[in-house]
Amino acid sequence: MSNDTLFAEALTHFPGGVSSPVRAFRAVGGTPKFFRKASGAWFEDEDGQRFLDLCMSWGPLILGHAHPDILAAVTESMNEGLTFGAPSRRELALARKIKAMVPFIEKMRFVSSGTEAVMSALRAARGFTGRDRILKFDGCYHGHSDGLLVKAGSGLVTFGAPTSAGVPKGIAELTSVVTLDDLDTLERTFAEIGNELAAAIIEPIPANNGLLLQRPEFLKRLRELCTKHGVILIFDEVISGFRVGPGGAAERLGITPDLATYGKIIGGGMPVGLYGGRKDIMGVVAPDGPVYQAGTLSGNPVAMAAGLATMEKLTPAFYAELDAKAAMWAATFETIPGLHCPRYGSLLWPLFQNGVRRSDAVKGEAISSFNRLHRALLEQGVYLPPSGYEVAFLSGAHGEAELAHFRRAVAAVAPAFA
């Protein structure tokens, strides 16, 4: 069946015809693509059209689609059983690998998604500190749990307000929100409520509302203020973890959080999340402590196998090659008139605006231009994330042939933006 036929049926089953709103094409226009198979850096839709993928399932596929070693590991694991609901040796193997790459993780817990990892980390922080309030940053996304779908209130350090229907006001009010790249407000916030905060959570490389790269001094001061006030610092590395280097953003920035959350890459394309860090904080998690958290499919052996097969290939040499490759892709993006492409490792943000560090600084016309670009490149066989507020991802499968295809596509659309 065609994409249009499938989407017409999908509208009868799912809100907006999709199982996640980021898959909808409402921002960029047109009908979402239904994909039937993928390999390397390419996938094919139900109409038989082939696309160069710059979304890569929103980040997990750092080795590319259907990598043979991952498929082999998954097949071996599936032949032994899909799920046990009990411990397995594969959990231990992946845990050992993660600890070797991120030494500050003393204890961890596997879950099934990034949202679940963040929700659980915050609960552990509250249980450890005995405090209820949390601090987040406008422009950072941490999943869709109630306490994090919050925007800033009307005053400097007021109660938060829900950004989604269905979030109780009382829960939102336990979250305070500070704007990124605003050191003065950060200082005043901790002066006012620092001793009431259980945790401060931030994407150290904010990549869910564009690539809002922060000044190192802002992140370092956040670490200092958390230590001073006894606040648990949580790095949300669901995107940046094992994407920007072996130790993620924490290693590259030289800042150690108390807890961190991960997802995407550690599952190798299967649903996995993880939270972990200091063993004294993790010691409050059941069955060792009073903070309850559980999951039927946590530590699923098939997902553990896919994650380990991925992680074993993430060497310093792999990251160095991917970083050099990403620089060429960013430079190609910037041959489009008016387009800038901030980059951190293999994360790229094609934006018709420069120097953006805060979500409220993104101009509407920049997003409108991206929407035009999305449609134009799609016609050239290049698939970008269907939102100007999302970043593009590269993988080890994006080689010379893929770059040549991308350069031809960019050359074809660039005159329309002159």
Residues 322 and 271 in one domain: no
Classify 177 as helix, strand or coil: strand
In whole angstroms, what is the distance from residue 271 CA to residue 152 CA?
Answer: 31
pLDDT (0 to 100) of residue 160: 59
Q: Which of 196, 27, 198, 66 has the alpha carbon at shortest distance from 127?
A: 198
Q: Which of 298, 254, 296 has the alpha carbon at shortest distance from 276?
A: 298
Domain CATH code at residue 182: 3.40.640.10
pLDDT in tens, 153-196: 434 444 556 777 887 888 888 999 999 999 999 999 999 999 99
Q: Are 231 and 165 in contact (CB under 8 A)?
A: no
Neighbours of 316 (CB within 10 A): 9
Segments in the chain below pLDDT 70: 152-161
Residues 102 and 198 in one domain: yes
Range of the domain at 103: 68-311
Classify 114 as helix, strand or coil: helix
Query: Which of 260, 282, 311 delimits the end of a domain?
Result: 311
Residues 22 and 102 in one domain: no
Please state the domain count of the chain: 2
Residues 125 and 165 in one domain: yes
**264 catalytic residue (yes or no):** yes
pLDDT (0 to 100) of residue 159: 53
Residues 260 and 344 in one domain: no
Residues 83 and 7 in one domain: no
Residues 122 and 214 in one domain: yes
At 277, the amino acid letter reads G
How many angstroms separate the most distant Cα atoms in the chain? Answer: 62
Residues 84 and 150 in one domain: yes
Q: Are 248 and 241 in contact (CB under 8 A)?
A: yes
H helix intervals, 18-157: 68-80, 89-101, 114-129
Domain CATH code at residue 41: 3.90.1150.10
Residues 249 and 389 in one domain: no
pLDDT (0 to 100) of residue 202: 97
Angle of helix 301-311 versus helix 68-80 axis, rounded to 10: 150
Residues 146 and 290 in one domain: yes
Active-site residue, selected from the candidate residues 33, 136, 264, 325: 264
Query: Which of 291, 311, 331 delimits the end of a domain?
Result: 311
Active-site residue, selected from the candidate residues 53, 236, 258, 383: 236
In whole angstroms, what is the distance from residue 309 CA to residue 57 CA?
Answer: 18
Residues 307 and 319 in one domain: no
Is this prediction's pTM over 0.85?
yes
Query: Which of 293, 311, 329 delimits the end of a domain?
Result: 311
Per DSSP, what are the bridge partners of residue 383? 53
Q: Are 73 and 309 in contact (CB under 8 A)?
A: yes
Active-site residue, selected from the candidate residues 45, 53, 141, 319: 141
pLDDT (0 to 100) of residue 349: 98
Residues 254 and 400 in one domain: no
Angle of helix 89-101 versus helix 301-311 axis, rounded to 10: 30
Q: Are 112 and 298 in contact (CB under 8 A)?
A: yes
